Structure formats: C-alpha cells, structure tokens
Amino acid sequence: MKITGAQALLKCLEEQNVETIFGFPGGAVIDIYDAILAQDKITHVLVRHEQAAVHAADAYARVIGDVGVALVTSGPGATNTVTGIASAYLDSIPIVVFTGQVPTALIGNDAFQEVDIVGITRPCTKHNYLVTDVNDLVPTIREAFHIARTGRPGPVLVDLPKDIMASLVKFPEPKPVRMRTYQPTYEPHPGQIEKACKAIMAAKKPVLYVGGGVIAAKAHEELTELAKKLDIPVTMTLMGLGGFPGTDPLSMGMLGMHGTYYSNMAVANCDLLISVGARFDDRVTGRIDAFAPKAQIIHIDIDPTSISKNVKVDIPIVADCKHALAGMNTWLDRNQDLNVNAEKEKHGPWLKQINEWKIEHPLGYVDDPDVIKPQFVVQKLHELTGGDAIITTEVGQNQMWAAQFYHFNHPRAFMTSGGLGVMGYGFPAAIGAQMAAPGRTVIDIAGDGSIQMNIQEMATAMQYKLPVKIAILNNNFLGMVRQWQELFYDKKYSATPLDVAPDFVALAKAYGAVGLRATKPGEVEPVIKEALKTDNLVVMDFVIAREEGVYPMVPAGKATTEMLLV
Amino acid sequence: MKHTISVLLQNRPGVLSRVTGLFSGRGFNIESLSVAPTLEKDVSCLTLMTSGEDHIIEQITKQLHKLIDVIKVTDISESDYVEREMALIRVKAEPSTRAEILRITDIFRGRVVDVSQKSYAVEVTGTCDKVQAMIDILRPIGIQEIIRTGTIAMTRANKKY
C-alpha cells in the first residue's frame, strides 16, 4: 500500500520514538500539517516564532537524552531556524529540523518563499539534505536521525519540497543505518587508556576538566567514580555543569572567564589536566599560552577535530567519554598493585591548597539590605527548589549568575546556549524542557533584555498549559555589555540602557499568566514561593541592583589567573 | 610548507561546496583544487594544494574527514608521489619571437595547440614548479592568457616484489 510523503514522514518519526515536535505551519508544509491532524501518536506544539521551535527542540533533546524535532515552512520559516540550528551545532545537541521547500520543479527559480536553506545551513549543521525523490525520503530521514544522535551529536536539517510530501511512496521496512563514510569511534585505544592511567597515577596535582561531552555521553556516573576513586578535584565548563555534583567537596564549580577563583588557580597550577568532553574554548582558556602551563594534558573526545585544535595535547583519546572513563576505571581497579589508596592520599596537599584558595576567594557578592542582588535571587531559587529544578537561561549576566550560584547536582538539569550565546534561548528552551518533563519545576533565569527576544512564546506556554516560571533579573540594562563598558570603555554606556521597557507583570497578565514583582530583598522569597505553588505560567520580575557585575572575571585575552574579583 | 591532499568523496549535490565552505569558514588556504570522477561509480577524487604549519594541516585533514560525504583523506605529500598540472598559455607571437616560443615549448616538452596571426597557445604538463618555470620564461615575450588545471597527484606504487 502506498502512502503520501507527508504520511511517511510521520510514520518515520514514530519509528524514531518521536513523541513531540515543535513547529509552525506554512504553504510548503501544509500537506504535513494535514497529515499531523489525522494521527494522534505525535504531539505538535505550535510556537509563535520558528526560532523558538528549534530552541524548544534543543532543550527537549537535552532533557530526554535523545533527538529533538522541529518542523517549519520554506523561506522565512527556514531562515528563522538558523540561529537555533547554529546554537545546537556549537553545543552538540541532537536535533532534526524539517524545513518545507517549494516544489522541485520550482527550485532555483526564486519562487515565492524559496530559499536555499541547505546552502545557508551547511556550515552550521552536522549534515543536511534536500530530498528530491520520494523514494529517498524514508532512508534520508533514518540517516538524519542516525547522524544527529551518534558520534558527536548535532543538528541535521532535512529540506522537504512540497511535491515530495504529496507524492505516493511505499514505506520501506525498517533496517539499521549503515554508512560507509560515517563511523564514529566509540571505543578508546587500550594503549592510550593505559598511558592516561599511568599519568594519573604519577600526578600529584591532577584536575578533571569536564565539558558537555560527559552529559552527551551519559558518562556522569563513570566520571564521579573516577574522581572519587583518586580524589581528583573537578572543574566544569558551562556546558559541563551537572556532569559532576556541584555540591560535592571535590567540585570547584565552573572555570574560565567567569569561573571560580579556585578553579582557575587549580588549572593554572595543576601538573595533569584531564579533559573529558570539553573543547578548550576561548572563554575557558583565556590567553592560550597561560592555560594549564605546568600540566601534561589528557584529552578524551569523540571528535578528533577537537583534539589539539587550540591546545597541544599530550595523551589524546578519541572515544566516547563513557567508554573511555569506564575503561580507565577498570584499568585502575585491575592494577591494584599500584595502590590506589596511596595515590589518593598523595593528593591530600593538593586538595588542601585548593581549599585554601576556596577560603581566600569564595564565590560571593556584597549583600545589600535595601536592594535585591541577582546572586541572592539565584541562591533563593536554589534553596526553595531544593536544587532540583530544571534551569534554563538566556545569555549574559543572568546566564553567568545562574551558572555560578545554582549548584547543579544532576546532568540534564541546566540548559543554556553555551557556544553561540543566544539571547532569547532560555524561554523557548523552558517550554521544550517542560514538554519533556511535565512533572518537573522548570525555571528560565532571564534578563530584562534577553527575555524580550522571544517573549511572544508566552502564548505557546499558555496554549499548552505549561507552568514554566520566568525569573527576570531586571536591571534595565543589557547588563553584560554594560559591565564590559564599565570596565573597559570608561563607563560609556552606548546602547545598553533599556530606558523603555514593558511592565512585565502587566504583560504576563495580558497573556493570562501570573505576574509577580519583588523590589526589596524581603520580597524575593515570598514571590518565589508564590510562583512555585502556582500551576500556571508565572513571570517574576526582580528589580535588582542596576550596576551589579559578574565576578570573578577574566578580561578577554588575559591569563585566567588575572581575575578581577568581587 | 605545501601539502597535496587527496580527498575521496561521495558524489552528491553540494559536496564540493561543503569542502570549499570548510576552507573559507575556517580560514584555511586553498592554492589549487581539481575534482573529477574515479573508477568507482558515484565517487569523486578531489585533489587540493594547501599550505600551513603542521597543526593546521592536521586540522585540515581532520575537518575534511569529519564531513559526512568524505570517504578518505590522504596527505599525499607525506609519501612518495607523482604530481601533474596542465596549463594552456597564450603568448603574443610576432615574427621575431615565434622561433623562440617554439624552442621554449620544445625544451619544456609542451606543444602548440592553437595558432593565430598574433599568438600561439601552448600546452604544457608537469609538476607545479615546472609549469611555473615555463610561465616565467615566456613572460618577457608577452603572455596574454593562462589557464591552469590545478595539481593532481597519485602516490607511487610499492616497488617491492
């Protein structure tokens, strides 16, 4: 029996265990939307802007640990997804984006709502496809999901011309995808594992430097085992937060530009840096020649291009983080004659030194009895949610305060646009996360600037009854740029004051949501408590200290030890 | 240092633009590039010449290999190999210089492929350096146009029996 391309697409999604897709209709995908209406296996979430569909799919993917899906129309629908796709690409998040396209006969004719989206997204997708024959449709979609979820995960785009969706096709039997040109390396080389373990056993001052790869590979248990086995202190990148329990004594929190003093000092002074699923990003390394200058470097990454890209690595291990860490744990257990406990004790002085750094310059801020400090809000959110909420962020100061002061103890609980740094990510991401985890508390920690970049999604949250909480840290500024202007541009606040702003409480009410405001520190806790017990979309407007900065801060291009402190 | 990199790829729409986009997007050099079908159906071979320090070349080969449509990447200049380039060179030909042009063409084992009253077009093949040498020698006579194919290369067969 033959079915239409649109029906085959939905059948394919079902085959890939897709339950929810985020999208926005249009002329080129009208056949697909017709087919969506005729089935009940897949829930479609109608967003209010295509960018939001991709961010929502991104966060959905992060929560469930599998592929997220977005569906949009051709032309502007497709171009609106580019920011979301680029963000997922830099953060290695598995998503498949389906874009409508004009009928094949019209491609290249500058037809209405035609754009070469495959050409546009080539540099920001892991791979992309234009389907030109309905018989290729199902194999292409299967390949797209396979590529998105395996190896170093990433976004894949499939462009679907309108006539292909309307053509008839026989649905091919499911079969495993085998690709001649794409075979990621999961298993580590045993020789490299042995080398790495010996280096670890020889080190006196080791540091585990953990990135998003640990979360992508679901390797947090193996990582925790390794860290505890030998008492190795752990620092995490923005993407790695939650990969190791943030409240564990071995955790040093985040490193880099806004990392903790002790993380940056530990990396600068360690004799062995064990990088797991991280990519030595410039926001982490600062001035590259001053990054971990005394250390031998082990680098575990599934993507060979990440290794020795920015920093020369001594022991490269191309593998899935989970397999590599498990391999190292097994090796260490097997070689008991090396006396793991003695090694553990050997790290005593190093941990003591790190502890001294922690006491010297803890993560902190200057409290004020009259003005709400943003860090205090994040601390209160942590306290009142028991550290158990899913936190999404926008980008800027709000993102850094969330990363610093909400101590994540579990993976897949922190969603942020790490690599691309997209303002407007957090709210649609919260929608995606709430769809994936209906029972959980989901909070978007936002700024008054960035929330306005996708604020139209309040309608989406209301439509699907998603009780997302938005905590706006409102300083009437584009705060992070203002901070740079304060520090490096003689306080010349060019285009950063947001003198005209909506009344967020009234705006929430206009959408049928709940709006709450706190202007004094004493009002923070009641507002959060009220929000947490409200089964509705809630906007919390925290009027915070206008010129509060994010500290520590490593100025761009400086060594990570040259931190500006509170 | 110059490197000649050979890339086997699936002959799919847009594959060439994936390769060139990678180079422009990451700021790598391409000095020449040529691409044509191979013995195997739907597989093309792309030969490109690039230059850079060792860690750049390492990134180039890794990044190329990361492209989904790429089957195999070989840095040919790491082994024993033969390389060839072909050029068509149109030279101003006056009665006083015609003999000289023919002599130079002969020395470089080229041949004349097009003749008019005012010019000769000559064809030459060889390594990139040889082609460049012939161009340099013809230049004072007056070159009007040059078309070069870019280098192609092949590793030498194992000579051991």
Nearest to A118 among B14, B63, B66 (CB): B14
Query: Each residue of A307-333: pLDDT tens digit?
Result: 999 999 999 999 999 999 999 999 999
Which residues of chain B does A181 touch, with a Cβ-Cβ cutoff of 8 Å? 10, 68-71
Catalytic residue flag (residue A356)? no
Domain boundary residue, one of A333, A360, A387: A360
Residue A201 shares a structural domain with residue A131: no
Q: Judge whether B71 lies within some domain.
A: yes
Q: Tell me the mean pLDDT in the region B31-49.
A: 95
If asked whether residues B94 and B114 sit together in one domain, one would say yes
The answer on A303 and A442 residing in a single domain is no
Does residue B159 form part of some domain? no
Question: Which structural domain range is residue A270 located in?
Answer: 190-360
User: Is B140 in the A-facing interface, judged by CB distances under 8 Å?
Assistant: no
In the annotation, is A452 catalytic?
A: no
- To the nearest whole Å, the CA of A302 is away from the closest chain B CA by 11
Say yes or no: A8 and A51 in one domain. Answer: yes
- Check whether residue A341 and residue A200 sit in a common domain: yes
Q: Are residues B103 and B149 in the same domain?
A: yes
Would you state the pLDDT for residue B159?
76
Domain end position, chosen among B28, B47, B78: B78
The domain that holds B138 is classified in CATH as 3.30.70.1150
Same domain, B70 and B125: no
For residues A402 and A313, membership in a common domain is answered with no
Neighboring chain A residues of B22 at a CB cutoff of 8 Å:
123
> Quick check: A301 and A196 in contact, CB under 8 A?
no
Domain membership flag for residue A560: no
CA distance B55 to chain A (A): 8
CB-closest option in A119, A180, A308 to B71: A180
How many domains does chain B fold into? Answer: 2
Q: Same domain, yes or no, for B58 and B94? A: no
User: Of B78, B104, B130, which marks where a domain is finished?
Assistant: B78
What distances in angstroms separate CA A33 from CA A27, A29, A37, A43, A460, one per listed residue? 10, 6, 6, 12, 18
pLDDT digits (tens, 9 = 90+) for A182-220: 999 999 999 999 999 999 999 999 999 999 999 999 999
CA distance A157 to A153: 13
Residue A303 domain flag: yes
A305 and B59 in contact by Cβ < 8 A? yes
> With b meaning 16 or more CB within 10 Å and e meaning fewer, what string describes A185-196?
eeebeeebbebb
Q: Is residue B106 part of a domain?
A: yes
pLDDT recorded at residue A340:
75
Q: pLDDT by residue (tens digit) across A491-534?
A: 999 999 999 999 999 999 999 999 999 999 999 999 999 999 99
Query: What is the rounded average pLDDT for all residues in chain B?
Result: 95
Same domain membership, residue B143 and residue B99: yes
* Domain shared by A340 and A404, yes or no: no
What CATH number is attached to the domain comprising A25?
3.40.50.970
Chain B residues touching A147 at Cβ < 8 A? 68
User: Which residue among A113, A353, A456, A463 is the active-site one?
Assistant: A113
Residue B9 sits in the same domain as residue B67: yes
Residues B68 and B99 in one domain: no
Known catalytic residue at A236 = no
Assess if residue A563 is contained within a domain.
no
**Residue B1's CB: how many other CB atoms inside 10 A?**
9
The answer to whether position A565 is within a domain reads no
B88 shares a domain with B25? no
With respect to residue A555, please indicate whether it lies within any of the assigned structural domains: no
For A428, residues 6+ apart whose C-beta sits below 8 A from its C-beta are A47, A51, A52, A53, A55, A56, A59, A454, A457, A460
How close does chain A come to B70, measured CA to CA in Å? 6
Which of A122, A130, A180 has the CB atom closest to B21's CB atom? A122
Q: Does A554 map to a domain? A: no
Domain C-terminal end among B26, B54, B78 = B78
Annotated catalytic residue A504:
no
- Single-letter code of the amino acid located at A476: N
Give catalytic status of residue A113 as yes or no: yes
Q: Tell me the nearest-neighbour CA distance from B14 into chain A, angstroms.
A: 8
Q: Collect all residues of chain B within an 8 Å Cβ-Cβ radius of residue A155.
A: none
Do A245 and A351 share a domain, yes or no?
yes
Total count of domains within chain A: 3
At A336 the pLDDT is 67
Domain that holds residue B149: 82-154
* Residue B43 sits at the chain A interface (C-beta within 8 Å): no
Cα-Cα-Cα-Cα dihedral sign, residues A234, A239, A244, A250 = positive
Q: What three-state secondary structure class fits B92?
A: strand
Residues of chain A with pLDDT under 50: none
Same domain, A432 and A474: yes
Q: Do A123 and B62 touch (CB under 8 A)?
A: no
Residue in chain A lying closest to B26 (CA): A123
Q: Give pTM, 2 decimals.
A: 0.96
Say whether both A378 and A355 belong to one domain: no
Q: Residue B63 falls within a domain, yes or no?
A: yes
CA distance B48 to chain A (A): 20
Q: To 5 degrees, how large is the angle CA B31–CA B35–CA B38?
A: 145
